[in-house]
């Protein structure tokens, strides 16, 4: 996909006007079902149980971001309380202390109030602390998601503070940011869990690599830092080149299969997910759910031309009927 088209799709992800148009199309919800596990906790847990039975792990994300009022941040916090309680009732939540947790929730700090005026950082920190406490009590892990580069310093500051209480807390680093290789070196210490992804926001060239070849090269450098480190790398990619290189890298670092994992998105390269799991690897599927699916969906379209074609073919097919 050309850089221009990708930028256009990512800009569309933040357009309220396009959101109103696309979310009203009946075909949109039908297509989104490929990438989103539903709108309710019950649907998300049902999808989770199916994945667990296949030998894969799960990270569930309640969709939403860029919260602009305290009530919405509180509502997101309550949704995570309900979700974690539901996950805690699954038998997979009862694993031995210290083992890799098959169940996890992913959290965007902007959904917890990070961007609220005056005290957004503190509000997001306290809400994330409550989520971590609930997760620890039920045997579930938490990973703090990465968002656009303007939030990175605040996000990593919150992660560092929370890890003093919850050392198993994970976070996400995005390889397309120029700073990420240094962040990997800083954060790859004992007990760390770092999900390394390429990045899915439209960032300026001053802070991010824009060319695919540069992003790919940065990803592999960052992965090398993480695999040589003392933490638990989480290799979040669907790219066959990256997956092959990661396999070589973890072998060279003499890592056991329980010392790293692969991560992929719900509905994307499902056969490859299962292949890796069947080969004895830890594979975690990122499972989003909720009504606020538009921004997430548009970023998935921006990532791969096949996703755009899939959506357009479905749209045309619906109009013909």
Residues with catalytic roles: 145, 195
Written as one string, the DSSP assignment of 138-192 is HT-EEEEPP--GGGHHHHHHHHHHHHTT-TT-EEEEETTBTTHHHHHHHH-STT-
Burial class for 206, CB neighbours closer than 10 Å (0-12, 13-18, 19+): exposed
In degrees, rounded to 5, the angle at the alpha carbon of residue 64 between the alpha carbons of residues 63 and 69 is 155
Q: Which residues lie below 8 Å from residue 185, measured CB to CB, with a gap of 6+?
A: 225, 229
For residues 53 and 223, give the distance between their C-alpha atoms in angstroms, rounded to a whole number.
29
Token code pair at residue 8: 């256009």
Query: In angstroms, rounded to a whole number, what is the distance separating the alpha carbons of residues 200 and 148?
Result: 8
The terminus-to-terminus CA distance of the chain in angstroms comes to 29
Interstrand relation of 232-236 and 261-265 (parallel, antiparallel or unpaired): parallel
Instruction: DSSP letter for 95, please.
Output: -
C-beta of residue 234 within 8 angstroms of C-beta of residue 193: yes
DSSP SS3 for 262? strand
Cβ contact 141:135 at 8 Å: yes
Collapsing DSSP states into helix, strand and coil, what is residue 176?
coil
Q: How many other C-beta atoms are found inside a 10 Å radius of the C-beta of residue 240?
A: 10
């Amino acid at each position: 996909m050309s850089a221009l088209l990708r930028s256009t799709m990512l800009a569309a992800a933040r357009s309220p006007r396009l959101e109103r148009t696309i979310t009203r199309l009946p075909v949109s919800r039908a297509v989104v079902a490929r990438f989103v596990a539903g709108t309710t906790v019950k649907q998300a847990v049902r999808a989770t149980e199916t994945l667990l039975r296949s030998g894969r792990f799960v990270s569930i994300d309640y969709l939403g971001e860029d919260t602009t009022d305290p009530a919405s941040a509180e509502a997101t916090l309550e949704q995570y309380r309900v979700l974690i309680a539901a996950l805690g009732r699954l038998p997979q939540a009862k694993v031995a202390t210290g083992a890799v947790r098959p169940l996890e929730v992913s959290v965007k700090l902007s959904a917890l109030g990070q961007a609220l005026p005056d005290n957004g950082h503190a509000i997001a920190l306290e809400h994330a602390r409550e989520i971590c406490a609930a997760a620890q009590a039920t045997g579930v892990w938490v990973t703090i998601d990465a968002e656009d580069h303007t939030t990175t310093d605040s996000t990593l500051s919150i992660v560092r503070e929370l890890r003093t209480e919850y050392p198993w807390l994970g976070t996400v680093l995005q390889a397309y940011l120029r700073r990420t290789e240094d962040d990997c070196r800083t954060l790859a210490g004992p007990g760390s869990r770092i999900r390394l992804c390429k990045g899915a926001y439209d960032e300026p060239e001053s802070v991010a690599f824009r060319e695919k070849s540069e992003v790919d090269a940065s990803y592999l450098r960052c992965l090398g830092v993480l695999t040589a480190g003392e933490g638990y790398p989480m290799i979040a990619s669907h790219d066959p080149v990256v997956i092959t290189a990661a396999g070589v890298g973890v072998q060279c670092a003499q890592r056991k299969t329980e010392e790293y994992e692969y991560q992929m998105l719900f509905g994307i390269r499902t056969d490859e997910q299962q292949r890796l799991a069947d080969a004895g690897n830890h594979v975690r599927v990122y499972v989003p759910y909720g009504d606020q699916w538009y921004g997430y969906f548009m970023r998935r379209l921006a990532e791969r031309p096949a996703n755009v074609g899939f959506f357009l073919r479905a749209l045309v097919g619906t109009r013909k009927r």
